Structure 1
Amino acid sequence: MAATASTADVIPVEQLAAGSCRCSTAQRIASLFSSAFLVVVAALWVPTVPAANAVPDYEHDIKPILEDRCYPCHSRIKQKAGLRLDAGRLIHAGARDGPVILPGRGDESVLLRRLLSTDEEERMPPEGKPLAAEEVALLRAWIDAGAKSPADEPIPKTPAEHWSFQPVTRPVVPAIRQPERARNPIDQFVLARLEQRGWTSAPTAGPSALLRRVHLDLVGLPPTPAEQERFLREPTAAALDGIIDELLSRPAYGERWARHWLDVVRYADSNGYERDAEKPFVWRYRDYVIRSLNSDKPFNRFVLEQIAGDELPDASAETMIATTFLRLGHWDDEPADPPTDRFDQLDDIVGTTSLAFLGLTLGCARCHDHKFEPLSTRDYYGMVAVFQPLERPRDGRTELALPVGTRAELAALEERDRQIAALLKHEPALSPEDLGARTNALLAATPDLPRAYLWREPSPKPPDAFVLLRGSAARPGEPVAPAVPEVLAKQQPEFPAPDHRTTRHRLGLAEWLAGPKNPLTARVIVNRVWQQHFGHGFVRTPNDFGLMGEAPSHPELLDW
């Protein structure tokens, strides 16, 4: 076997050409390969620092440095000191306090001075290592040469201009060349887009296929032979409309479509972790969702009830059960770090609420400002402050359920229990028979109420809320008040004053979520419904309507 070639086997090329070396074929091949490799490396090597009088290229040399080290604080998402460095024209525009570069005078430019400062309060970037000397040299040379950039360089839109953060408007239904093909305005939007692209729609499904699709879509079961025979005798549009109305009125409709919502809100019958304990009475929430769908409850009411059903003026057993939404997350009944676990539970509520209703990944801002979205740590803890008054009812490791009803029913139950407690306190003065008779009379007059799996607010006085530094429960920072993400509200919503029972912070949030000033809730739920009917939504990232999510395929139809 030939010996493996090594660096010691490399023979000068001229010796190989002259045939002056007695070596194996493998050695000769290795020698040729090594020489070729060195030639390729030499050809590819580009010095980092430009040669004298060479002007750095903005796109190739300058923009990558800015993108890597400066964009986190000075681009479209965040503009500290009013400075953006993500486009040449914006660099020339400078910051609130004035220009940061002086073309032709690199060493006199504020940008270079801040990059080279030895003062930790002044040096940029404030985190991480300073820029390498080679990077600073490139920036200096570029500014000295006039800080030129392409005139047609696009300027990235700011978060405030992002499509999903704009107010919802009612678009005009487009005209189409073949109006007879459209049964409704939705058809017109779809056909208009096909016409724009020069496409034709797929052939109309046959009566059997159409009937089957409608049944599977709405109730999850195929039509019976009798239903098929009846429709095929008269497969008209009016007959199909009648079948759809009948399917929507079936209990099976709510049972099928509730599954889609339960997936969004992380519904489960147990808590997870090693003991995986059962969530008591959690099934009442499942049934609530089914009833809401089958009764055609308005979606804004559906939102209000799940966030603040116990704080509504007309609170009832039904609306209180709806707030089980807030408690559906997993729960560790024996946490290693109880304060951290407490904020893990609040994080679950904030994260699920923002994903389910807003389509935003707000949970990513728990430890630091979101890296890719205009969501700050302060935005995150403003939402945490909304839910912080909540407490989990439990007895040690055992979770407890709470009675639900109208305010009058709950007050009567509290009064009954107070009277029973008073009887027991005076038990020595009563015979067992008398005590039992009185207790039974009170129970008969005011029976127990249903119980449900809820959080509770023990006091109308909210606890102090803070930004947690790096997300640590042991490191409270600046105080925060209840708030919604700043990018979605030019003016924060007014949170109602507390009543004698709760802070009513959740009611303020719920009214904003379900109100017309919030541009996201309606778009997100329309997209979810379309997704379940047709396989994918207008926006193919249904839980992400932020900057990193996909743009809608049919924005006008989504808003219509």
Structure 2
Amino acid sequence: MKSWSDKVAFSMRSIWLGLLAVGLAQSAVADENTEIVEEPIVDADRDHWAYQPLRRPSIPDVQNVDWCRTPIDRFVLAKIEAAGLQPANPATQQVLLRRLTFNLTGLPPTEDQVELAYARAPDRDAYDQLVDRLLASRAYGQRWAQHWLDLARFAETDGFEHDKVRPNAWRYRDWVIDALNADLPFDEFVKQQIAGDEIDPRDGNKLIATGFLLCGPDMPDINLQDERRHNFLNEMASTVGSVFLGLQVGCAQCHDHKFDPISQMDFYRLRSFFEHPDLFKEHPVATKEESEARLNWETQRSELLFAKGDFKKAVLKRVRTEAGLPKLTLNDDQLQKRMTDKEKKSWTYITESLAKLEKQGRPPIPMGRVMKERSRTYAVSHLRIRGDFRRLGPVTRPAFPRVVNTAGVTVFRAPQKATSSFRRLALANWLVRRDNPLTARVMVNRVWQHHFGEGLFRSPSNVGLTGYDPTHPELLDWLAVEFIESGWSLKRLHKLILTSATYRQSSLPHRNAEQGEAENVDSSLLTRYPLRRLDGESIRDAMLAVAGTLNQRAGGPGIRPPLPPELVSTLLKNQWPVTKDSRDHHRRSIYLFVRRNLRYPLFEAFDKPDTNASCPVRSESTIAPQALFVLNSDFALQRAKDFAADLIRNSNGAVDAVDQCICRALGRYPKDNELSLFCEFLIKELRRLNKRSAADKRPIPVPAEFANTDKENYAAALTQVCLAIFNLNEFIYLD
């Protein structure tokens, strides 16, 4: 029997539920008729620097003209001179070599490159040629694709509770690498990712490019599919706004933006471009090569089947004629017994070729999540009251953000016989219009950011009022106009920046104490090159490269190298099935499998971002796990063993081995005191190991090929030298 208090509580609960039901019912009826008051865009809204029309500013005059190499330097030097300061001295050729190779390829310089840097006097043409060679290398796309994949929130799983694998997600990663290596103009790079299927629905590569829109996290098993769709579209629209325009449009999902002139209607108009009826449907994503392979297989099979049929008819006709039985029928075995030796050879060739082809199997059609519209009709889009997917507000139609759309461009209607709505193509074309003030500014700033550690404005995905103003606004606009007028070429933009005197400065603090203090107060003046730590991918790839074990094989599904045993013990079954071919474990970091709910330990320690959201800037922490990983992890120790083994095989004695070790790891020749210091360390380690008693059974880290040989202790001592050099700041930082 219920107590009095229980009855009161039950009654109150019933009343509240009843009131809630009435309120929801009333709101559901009223929502579609709710009038949304949208503030008009006024001239004052466009006073902000980011919304100003893009014009090429004049190049400023400076006193120290001889210091300048490109127009970039004039803009930078003008501010330095205005502050009463001076730029730093030029960096040495060896420093520039290492800086360039890591910035452009994510890899350390080779021994041959280091040797050339020492042998050759400073030469502008030689430097320019080095930049060109690095930009032309395959490693360039592999390095710079990672910067874009951070923005694209790329992963090969869905995320959330089940974190299901997306088997062909890697194809988008490979598309980005190939596009950057081919120097696909950035305007085309944008268009293909927004509307590749509407540009050419028959081109598999353009379909794969639209994977950008679908890279975000997803909950396919959620009970409410309307909620899934709502969240997915919101994330998609928010990402497009921040990545291409630098606008935080996602802040207007539930209400007008609190600071920027972006209304809730603006957000849902932008979202309307992506209201795809088959948003979660998979489509064929075969590349041209895969399609040709499938077509070749089917063609060969058809030809062999026809040849087999024609051959049987010819043999049967001969047998009938010889037997005088015009209606004789025979099966294959009976027919084969009546074949001549020559006919048997032909028959065997045809049947064996057909059997071999059937055994190979028809190449499968890979399926993946890409955008592909099949008709000009599209789902009706509504504003969602307070961002609630259940509360439909007024109908919204595709339109560009008003504060940026100064030319008043409208979305064209698709032709009557069109196979697509062409809404996304309209958006893509507008994003790269000459009168759009944001797209070029935002991308130029991102490129600058990855070369200098910080952009010309420090909030690369937020140009709004809550973001940072540019430190060099005229330089930003000059670069943006130059970028557009040079055909949106990223490689030309890279070269323009990398050949500047600004980029070629030393990172050493200025000897003048007053200037040094000013630099510490305001580093944005660019009076010297900023010291930066390498990211986790570059550290891993550098260890593999200097050890001589880096596998340069490109492309394909993400690989899963072994994980530490203590981490494996916490995983679910098949959460990280290790790739069978151990050679693949040494491939470049960009090809490692990206699971949303499990980051590779080295990358997690060195601040690789969460892939659940677009990441414009990686944080740079200094924490104990970083030092512990480089000093104690199985990965670092194994790379040190590989490095030592390679040095022993390719050196003439201990001194030469130490010399090569420093040269390969640090990109420069060792100084006299360094060489003697590390040789002394090597000798001490060797003595310690030689003194080990026979009873000491503790394992020592030694390359497998030198275990139980007369070089075992030497190899183990050299391994410790290699490990020590991996732990130098100079190995992990870029100056």
Partner of 1:477, secondary structure, is: strand
Does the alignment pair 1:225 with 2:141? no
SS of the equivalent of 2:257 reads coil
* Matching residue of 2:381: 465
Give the match's secondary structure for 2:199: coil
Once the two structures are TM-superposed, the CA of residue 392 in structure 1 deviates from its matched residue by: 3.1
Aligned AA (1:525): M
Are the equivalent residues in 1 in contact too, given 2:194–2:425 (CA < 8 A)? yes
Q: For 1:217-366, list aligned pairs within 5 A.
A: 217-234=103-120, 235-313=122-200, 316-366=203-253
Paired position in structure 2 for 1:402: 284
Structure 1 residue 206 and structure 2 residue 124: aligned? no
Residues of 1 paired with 2:369 and 2:267: CA distance?
26
C-alpha distance in structure 2 between counterparts of 1:531 and 1:179, whole Å: 26
SS at match of 2:207: helix
* Aligned 8 A contact 2:284 2:365 in 1: no
1:145 maps to what in 2?
none
- Which of 461, 464, 478 is the matching residue for 2:394? 478
CA offset at residue 187 of structure 1?
A: 1.1
Q: Which shifted more, 311-320 or 288-297?
A: 311-320
Assess if the C-alpha contact under 8 Å between 1:389 and 1:503 holds in 2.
no
How far apart, CA to CA, are the structure 1 residues paired with 2:201 and 2:70? 38
Q: In structure 2, what residue type is equivalent to 1:211?
A: L
Q: Which one of 435, 444, 454 corresponds to residue 370 of structure 2?
A: 454
Partner of 1:215: 101
Contact 2:207 2:285 in 1 (8 A): no
User: Does 1:503 find its partner at 2:411?
Assistant: no
Count of matched residue pairs: 378
Q: Partner residue of 2:335?
A: none
- Please give the alpha-carbon distance, in whole angstroms, between the structure 1 residues aligned to 2:114 and 2:474: 36
User: Is the 8 Å Cα contact of residues 320 and 404 (structure 1) preserved in structure 2?
Assistant: no
Distance 1:328 1:159 in 2: 33
Code of the residue aligned with 1:480 in structure 2: it is: T
Return structure 1 stretches of 4+ with deviation > 6 angstroms.
none
Long gaps (5+) in structure 1: 1-77, 85-156, 395-399, 417-432, 434-440
Cα distance in 1 for partners of 2:287, 2:54 equals 36
Q: 2:402 & 2:370 partners in 1: Cα distance?
A: 29
CA distance in 1 between partners of 2:474 and 2:202 (Å): 37
Describe the superposition over 1:13-50 as per-residue Cα deviations: whole angstroms up to 9, x where unpaired. Answer: xxxxxxxxxxxxxxxxxxxxxxxxxxxxxxxxxxxxxx
Check the 8 A contact 1:457/1:502 in 2, yes or no.
Answer: yes
Change (3 A) 1:328 1:314: closer
CA distance in 1: counterparts of 2:102 and 2:155, whole angstroms:
25
Distance 1:545 1:237, change over 3 A: same
Matches within 5 A, 1:418-429: none
SS of alignment partner, residue 394 of structure 2: strand
1:187 matched to 2:73? The reply is yes
- Cα 1:365–1:393, aligned 2, differ >3 Å: closer, same or farther? closer
Contact 1:310 1:323 (8 Å CA) reproduced: yes
Distance (whole Å) between structure 2 residues aligned to residue 514 and residue 80 of structure 1: 27
Q: How far apart, CA to CA, are the structure 2 residues paired with 1:393 and 1:474? A: 20
Under a length normalisation based on structure 2, what TM-score does the superposition of the two structures give? 0.48
RMSD: 3.0
User: For the structure 1 residues 405 and 229, does the alpha-carbon distance in structure 2 shift closer, same or farther, using more than 3 Å as the test?
Assistant: closer
Q: Which amino acid aligns with 1:481?
A: R
Separation in structure 2 between the aligned mates of residue 546 and residue 503 of structure 1, nearest angstrom: 31
2:203 and 2:273 map into 1 onto residues whose CA distance is: 22
Q: Is the 8 A contact 2:201 2:207 kept in 1?
A: no
Alignment-mate amino acid for residue 196 of structure 2? G
Structure-1-length-normalised TM-score: 0.63
**Could you tell me how far apart the structure 1 residues matched to 2:61 and 2:371 are?**
51
Deviation of residue 494 (structure 1)?
2.9
Q: Which one is further off, 547-556 or 458-467?
A: 458-467
CA distance in 2, matches of 1:447, 1:212: 44
1:66 — aligned with what? none
| SS of alignment partner, residue 487 of structure 1 | coil
Structure 2's unaligned 5+ residue stretches are 1-36, 299-331, 333-356, 479-735
The yes-or-no answer on 1:494 pairing with 2:397 is no
Deviations for 1:484-540, whole angstroms, at most 9, x for unmatched residues? 111111313333415532111000000001111211110000000000000000010
* Mapped partners of 1:325, 1:463: distance in 2: 21
CA–CA distance in structure 2, aligned partners of residues 404 and 385 of structure 1: 28
The percent of aligned pairs where both chains have the same amino acid is 40
CA shift for structure 1 position 447? 7.4
State the 1:405 CA deviation: 6.7
2:81 paired with 1:163:
no
Q: Which whole-Å deviations, capped at 9, do the CAs of 1:326-376 have from their partners, x for residues lacking one?
A: 110111122143212211000111011001100111011111111111100
Give the Å deviation of 1:173.
1.3
Query: Which residue among 247, 272, 280 is the counterpart of 1:385?
Result: 272
Give the equivalent residue in structure 2 for 1:524.
442
CA displacement, residues 399-450 of structure 1 (integer Å, 9 cap, x when unaligned): x4434579xx89x99xx9xxxxxxxxxxxxxxxx9xxxxxxx9xx9x97655
Which residue in the other structure is 1:106 paired with? none
Matched to 1:207, the amino acid is Q
Which structure dedicates a bigger proportion of its chain to helix? Answer: 2
CA separation of 1:518/1:257 partners in 2, compared to 1, >3 Å: closer, same or farther?
A: same
Distance in 1 (CA, whole Å) between partners of 2:458 and 2:244 is 16
By relative contact order (CA 8 Å, sep 6+), the higher-ranking structure is: 2
SS of equivalent to 2:383: strand
The match for 1:100 is none
Deviates more, 1:532-541 or 1:268-277: 268-277
Query: Are 2:141 and 2:177, in contact at CA under 8 Å, matched by a contact in 1?
Result: yes
Say whether the 8 Å CA contact 2:208–2:285 is kept in structure 1: no
Secondary structure of the residue aligned to 1:254 is helix
Amino acid at match of 1:459: S
Displacement, 1:172? 1.2
Aligned-partner Cα distance in 2 for 1:347–1:79: 20
> Contact 2:445 / 2:460 at 8 angstroms: preserved in 1?
yes
Q: Structure 1 CA distance, aligned partners of 2:196 and 2:104?
A: 28
Q: Deviations over 1:272-320 (max 9, x none)?
A: 1121111121111100100111111110000000000000158511111
Structure 1 348/540 Cα, relative in aligned 2: closer, same or farther at 3 Å?
Answer: same
* Conservation of the 8 A alpha-carbon contact between 2:277 and 2:378: no
1:254-273: CA deviation from partner (whole Å, max 9, x where unpaired): 00110000001100111111
Distance 1:255 1:454, change over 3 A: same
Contact 2:271–2:398 (CA under 8 A) maintained in structure 1: yes
Q: In structure 1, what residue type is equivalent to 2:139?
A: A
Distance 1:325 1:212, change over 3 A: same
Q: Distance in 1 between matches of 2:107 and 2:254?
A: 46
In structure 1, what is the equivalent of residue 345 of structure 2?
Answer: none
Deviating more after overlay: 314-323 vs 253-262: 314-323
Q: Is the 8 A contact 2:197 2:372 kept in 1?
A: no
Aligned to 1:196: 82
